[in-house]
Amino acid sequence: MHAKRGKLGLGVALGAAAAIAAAARAFVLHEPHLLWTMSGPALVYTTRRCLGEPARVLRTGGVYQSATYLGERRMEPVFEYYRAFGRLFELRPDARHVLAIGGGGFAFPKLVAARHPGVRMDVVEIDPAVVRAAHRWFFLDDAIALARANGGDLRVICDDGRSFLEDAPGPYDAVVLDAFVGEKPVRSLATVEALRLARRALAPGGLLLMNVVSRDGGADVSFLRSTVATALVVFSNVRVLLATDATHDEEDNYLLVASDASLDLCDAISYDEGFLGEVLLDEA
C-alpha cells in the first residue's frame, strides 16, 4: 500500500514538473534546472525576455519568486519591490538589525549587504530546497561574505516564519515580510496575532514592511485591503506605496509600511475607511 502511494506521488510530481517545463518553453531559456520545493516544482533558468539584460530567475507556481542579475550587477535587485524595501533606510537611516521572513533568491538581503555597511540581517526561509538554490544559483555566499566584509552579517535561518516570530531574539529595527507559496501569500504571517508578534520583536519606533500583491491582473486588491485594516489594529501608522515593475509584472506589487512612529512618505497612496477590508485573524 505504501509502495503504491509512493508511485502515485512520483507520477503527480513528474506530471507537475512536465507542466512547469512546458509552460517555460515560451521563455528564452538558458541553463534550465528543475527542482522540487515544499510548494511543488520550481524552475531556475536564465532569460532575457522582459528583463532586458540576462537575469536568472526562480519560477514556481506560475510566477517569479526571485531573480538576479549576473556578473558585476549580481547584488542589484531586478524587481522594483525589492528596491522598495530599501525605503526602510530612508525612514530609519540608523537601522542596524533587520529581520526578513521569506528568503527566495535573497535579493533584498543582497542589496543590504552591498549598500548598507554594518547591518546585521537575519533571513528566515522555510524551504531548505530554496536555500540550497540560493547558495548555488543566486550568489548567497557572495552576499554573506560581502556583509561580513562590510562590518555586518547575513544569517540564514531555515525555519517557519511564524514559529520564528513566536520567540524572535530582537529587538529589530525593521521586520520585512515577503513570504509566498507560489502566487499565494502566507496568511499566517498577515493576521493580527502575527503582526503583534512582529511588533513585539521591533525596537521602539521600528518598522514593519510587507510585500502585498494584487490578483486578476491588478483588479483584485482584496488582500491589500485586509492587510491594511489588520495592520491598523496593531500599529499607529500604516502607509501604502506602489512598487510595481511596469515591464515584467503581471500583477501590481504594493509595499505596506507600518510603525508606531510617524512615517514621512510623500509618495504614499491615500486611502479612507471605505478602502479597509476584513481584519485577518488566526483561524480558530
Strands 202-213 and 55-60: unpaired
C-beta atoms surrounding 94 within 10 Å: 7
Q: What is the pLDDT of residues 150-204, one digit of tens each?
A: 999 999 999 999 999 999 998 999 999 998 765 678 899 999 999 999 999 999 9
Where do the domains of the chain lie? 2-73, 80-275
Give dist(CA 40, CA 6) in Å, integer: 16
Closest-CA residue to 235 (of 268, 269, 254, 262): 262
> What confidence tier does 47 reach under pLDDT thresholds 50, 70, 90?
confident
- Specify the length of the chain in residues: 284
What kind of fold does domain 80-275 have according to CATH? Rossmann fold (3.40.50)
Q: Quick one: pLDDT band at residue 207, thresholds 50, 70, 90? A: very high
Give the mean pLDDT of the chain.
87
Can you give 54-76 as a three-state secondary structure string?
Answer: CEEEEEECCEEEEEEECHHHCCC
Mean pLDDT of the 57-66 span: 84
- Region of residue 154 (phi > 0: left; psi between -120 and 50: alpha; otherwise: beta): beta
Dist CA 202 CA 144 (whole Å): 23
Q: What is the pTM of this model?
A: 0.87
Range 6-16 average pLDDT: 42
Q: How far is CA 57 from the centre of its chain?
A: 14
pLDDT at 12 over 90: no
